[in-house]
Amino acid sequence: MAQPIALLSVYDKTDLIVLAQGLQKAGVRLLGSGGTAKKIRDAGIPIEDVSDITKAPEMLGGRVKTLHPAVHGGILARSIASDKQDLEAQGISPISIVVCNLYPFEATISQPNCTLANAVEEIDIGGVTLLRAAAKNHERVSILSNPVDYAGFLKAYTEGQGDVGQGFRSKLALKAFEQTAKYDEAISGYFREQYASAELSADKLAGSVQRMALRYGANPHQKPAQAYVTEGELPFKVLSGSPGYINLLDALNSYALVKELQEALNLPAAASFKHVSPAGAAVGVELDETEKKVYGVDDLKEPLTLLASAYARARGADRMSSFGDFIALSAPCDLATARIISREVSDGIIAPGYSDEALDVLKKKKAGKYCVLEIDPSYTPPAIETKQVYGIHLQQKRNDCKIGPELFQNIVTQNKDLSSAAVTDLIVATLALKYTQSNSVAYAFHGAIVGIGAGQQSRIHCTRLAGGKADLWWLRHHPRVLALPFKKGVKRAEKANAIDLYVSGEVLEGGEKAQWEGLFEGTVEPLTSGEKKEWATKLDGVACSSDAFFPFPDNVHRAKKSGVKYLAAPSGSVMDEECIKAADEHGIVFAHTSLRLFHH
């Protein structure tokens, strides 16, 4: 039986001598490259140079050492007759153990004075090739890529009389493949930064933009931060301002929502996002005169387009939550929409395009620092998405389910009169839930979200929260609210806050009360509980959707209090029948869907 051969070529020489001694004691013939062979030889352990079998010296300053058929033929040869014949014909001996680790590329590029030339020289070629070749042929070859495995390998090799077993070889092969993958990722990431980053000047940009540096992550202390793709190009570009990490979370989630809304309903759509959940979302349904006043666009000089109407509804549903929002539009931003945005406190906008007039308006916002992103409307994200939590990678198929009228065909109540307008509202509510932190419940009316309860652990709390917001939204339509005598010069945000305090009945005291009263001409009498109750009875035809089943009928009863006539939720609760009975009690149309929409 031929003497087994081990090839050693390492940068990290931790425990190298111990390993070499163990292999030599076990009767293994040692081959080494460059400094590896020298270190072993200096320790008095017999070892041959790789050049002894390649008959070729190291060259190009050490760039070429092990790249030779005598090496890789010996590693890649299988235990089959034809491969053995090839080796014999070429005078090549099989190699059964490869010990290799790589140049410290990541450590090199982390140095503040690292140059491009320094980085290039730390890209290991021969080492990666050895790792991949040995790992590929792990049915026969053992690949040791980390010194922590040396002791265990020697023990198994000795006990197995030269055979560590297929399980051990498979474990070592996986580790080698993971090492090369991580190494390649570090290299591509470095060159993405050098050649394809958005902040590069035109003469340094080698092609499409694949990366964008961010000021910081979710919080200022979380640095560095970036946004990037690993193939193709970033599907958006910055026209003004500078997006942050949370801006992009809001932008990309909100654009996905409005794109789906337009595809589902063939109407332009808008969304107002805060902290990765919609504060509001709507499609382009014309506003009546009262709605124009409620949404604060009755004084707009430009005629309201359907897109502008969509954003007025999305922003106006919950003005308190929308303060400082990130906006998404499904269609190119027009002047009327830009005019509305220019008057609101907002962090940024994403849209598939902008008219020249609209872009000019938006670029003036926040002294030129307003974030304006233009996204490629033809972009389709990959089918598989991955996120990392506490160092663990989680992967799943992207939630690409389609939401349309067919989802609401299974009506389980006595009342089955589902109008086309109600279907529109159910689609708006359900699609909003698809992009809302769970648990979530949404109320919609006239093509717009009017209340959303996001991120609650309890379903009933979602329903109450969303219903409470819908109630306040409806109270803002009250004639006495629309006639509040604000002093001249009161800002829009101040008005929104004052109206919210008024309709919610918040008890004010001291300086807060004096400040609130100072916004008005004369005394403002509160809405009585009787007035609120009477006004609440005037709201009817609201649609409500839940991202998972209703566990108890209390959700149905609460929804009815906010004018809900149409309800949609997945089935599956042991209390489904009780929820249906509650819906029948109120004459609600209840559709059981087959789709859970948790989002995290």
Which one is catalytic: 275, 366, 461, 532? 275
Rg over CA atoms, the chain: 33
**Averaged pLDDT, 24-48:** 93
For the entire predicted model, the pTM comes to 0.91
* Amino acid at position 126, single letter: G
Q: What is the pLDDT of residues 302-335, one digit of tens each?
A: 999 999 999 999 999 999 999 999 999 999 999 9
Per-residue pLDDT at 59: 66
Output the average pLDDT for the chain: 94
Q: What is the pLDDT of residues 5-30, one digit of tens each?
A: 999 999 999 999 999 999 999 999 99
Measured CA angle at 104 (ends 101, 110), to 5 deg: 155
Contact yes or no for 398/259 (Cβ under 8 A): no
Per-residue pLDDT at 1: 61
**Averaged pLDDT, 436-451:** 96
Integer Cα distance of 145 and 324 in angstroms: 51
Contact yes or no for 557/567 (Cβ under 8 A): no
**Averaged pLDDT, 69-90:** 90
Please indicate whether residue 363 is annotated as part of the active site.
no
Integer Cα distance of 315 and 249 in angstroms: 18
Instruction: Categorise residue 321: left if φ over 0, alpha if ψ from -120 to 50, beta otherwise.
Output: alpha
Q: Which residue's entry shows tokens 């993405």?
A: 192
Integer Cα distance of 125 and 143 in angstroms: 16
Confidence of residue 121 (pLDDT cuts 50, 70, 90): confident
Q: Which helix (H) or strand (E) holds 136?
A: helix 126-136
Which one is catalytic: 13, 136, 477, 586? 136
Task: Please give the share of the chain, as a percent, with pLDDT higher than 70.
Answer: 99
Integer Cα distance of 268 and 306 in angstroms: 7
Integer Cα distance of 168 and 160 in angstroms: 11
**If you write DSSP's letter for every residue of 242-284 in order, what string do you get?**
---HHHHHHHHHHHHHHHHHHHHHSS-EEEEEETTEEEEEEE-
Integer Cα distance of 20 and 28 in angstroms: 9
**Averaged pLDDT, 143-172:** 95
Integer Cα distance of 101 and 536 in angstroms: 72
358 pLDDT more than 70:
yes
Sheet of strand 236-240, all strands in order from the earlier edge strand to the far edge: 236-240, 371-375, 346-351, 325-329, 269-274, 277-283, 448-454, 440-445, 542-546, 564-570, 589-593
Which residues are CB-contacts of 550 (< 8 A; sequence separation ≥ 6)?
459, 463, 556, 569, 573, 575, 579
Integer Cα distance of 354 and 135 in angstroms: 52
- Per DSSP, the three-state class of 455 is coil
Please indicate whether residue 136 is annotated as part of the active site.
yes
Could you tell me which residues are beta bridge partners of residue 301?
A: none
Q: Which residue's entry shows tokens 């794109």?
A: 259
Q: Which residue has the higher pLDDT, 384 or 64?
A: 384
Q: Which residue has the higher pLDDT, 522 or 1?
A: 522
Contact yes or no for 227/214 (Cβ under 8 A): yes
Per-residue pLDDT at 52: 83
**Averaged pLDDT, 379-391:** 93
Of 347, 180, 174, the C-alpha closest to 247 is 347
Burial of 320 (0-12, 13-18, 19+ CB in 10 A): middle
Integer Cα distance of 588 and 461 in angstroms: 21
Q: What is the pLDDT of residues 477-496, one digit of tens each?
A: 999 999 999 999 999 999 99
**Averaged pLDDT, 115-140:** 91
123 pLDDT more than 90:
no
